[in-house]
Amino acid sequence: MKNMYSEKVIEHYKHPHNRGKMENPDGIGEAGAPCGDFTTVFIKVGEKDGKKFLERVMFETVGCIAAVATASLVTEVAEGKTLEEAEKMGKDEILEDLGGLPEIKMHCSALATDALREAIKNYKTKVKE
C-alpha cells in the first residue's frame, strides 16, 4: 500500500475527516463509478456578508482507499468556500494536494468533487436560486 499511495492519501484513509451522515443537510449529492465506488456528500449552507458559503461538508463513501481519501480531502478543502468557489473545485487540485494516485485509481478523484457539485445543485433547486 505504501508504494502505491502517498502518506497523505494513507492518512486521510486511516483517519478520514468529516465522515458520516449529516442530519438535516441543506443539500445532498451522489456520484458513483463503474467499479462500484459510491460517494454521498452532505452540505450545510451559511450566509455571511450576502454570500452563501459551505458551513459544513460531510461524506459517506463505499469504496477503496482512493475514494475515501479524496472524499475526506474534498470536504476539508470545501468548508468555508462560497458556493461558486466550491462548484469550481476539480479533481486536479485534489490529486495534486494528495500527492497523486495510481493511474488505475484516477477515476476516484472525481467522485467527491462530482458529488459536491450535485449537493450544491440540490441545494439551489430547493431554494430556487
Distance CA 114, CA 62 (A): 15
Q: Measured between alpha carbons, how far is residue 49 from residues 1, 58, 82 in Å?
A: 45, 24, 11
The torsion angle over the Cα atoms of residues 73, 9, 38 and 113, rounded to 10 degrees, is: 30
Cell of 57: 461538508
Active-site choice (4, 35, 62, 104): 35
64 is catalytic: no
Residue 35 annotated to the active site: yes
Backbone angles phi, psi at 128, to 5 degrees: 55, 50
Catalytic residue chosen out of the listed positions 77, 108, 112, 119: 108
What residues act catalytically?
35, 108
